[in-house]
Chains A and B, each alone.
Chain A
Amino acid sequence: AQSVAQPEDQVNVAEGNPLTVKCTYSVSGNPYLFWYVQYPNRGLQFLLKYITGDNLVKGSYGFEAEFNKSQTSFHLKKPSALVSDSALYFCAVRDMTSGTYKYIFGTGTRLKVLA
């Protein structure tokens, strides 16, 4: 079965420090991986995706993610965190076995950036 795991419920980081939000995946075949962010009382917003190509993917708001096939990971990173980055982050994979390529979301990681 296709799945993603986000091992941390919450990540705390000081403003200005680098941040990492972890995601590991389990898929059959090539993975199609995504990161979405959810601010309070809002829907999810697309940040970035990995389909193929470079292992380092750049996205919105200065975020990037590193695809590592040997470790089956797709960690979200940012060199310098902002207080406004505080939100809920979801990793997702598209289920290539479903015929409709439906998204399977992780349980989310709450990022708290401290001033």
Chain B
Amino acid sequence: EAGVAQSPRYKIIEKRQSVAFWCNPISGHATLYWYQQILGQGPKLLIQFQNNGVVDDSQLPKDRFSAERLKGVDSTLKIQPAKLEDSAVYLCASSLGPDLNSPLHFGNGTRLTVT
């Protein structure tokens, strides 16, 4: 099966600019996650979708970050305006559902550098 696709792989922007990341999950996976992985740390959940509805965005900095999953398939994560501390790898993951037996399948991530 095709894996989780993410683009772009790398992005360099200046602070206060905006950026968007795209994710296409594994076909049939209802649950989609965006994680932020700062160097030296484990992934931190930003937002979780179940189909096209948000089920957890408690750790999403909503003053600058937004995400959508129109039609319950692809998703985009946007940062506007970016700050230096947003430099990280942004990982998209999907699973069949939110149940305990569904492991996460990750994409290769987008490495964001904010200068």
Contacts and interface: CB of A to CB of B under 8 A. Distances in A.
Contacts of A106: 42
B45 interface: yes
Interface string B3-25: 01000000000000000000000
B91 A43 contact: yes
Interface string A30-60: 0010101000011111100101000000000
Contact of B107 (A34, A43, A102, A107): A43
Nearest to A96: B100
B43 interface: yes
B48 A102 contact: yes
A43 B42 contact: no
A16 B108 CA distance: 29
A90 interface: yes
Interface in B82-115: 91, 93, 98-101, 103-109, 111
A89 to B, nearest CB: 11
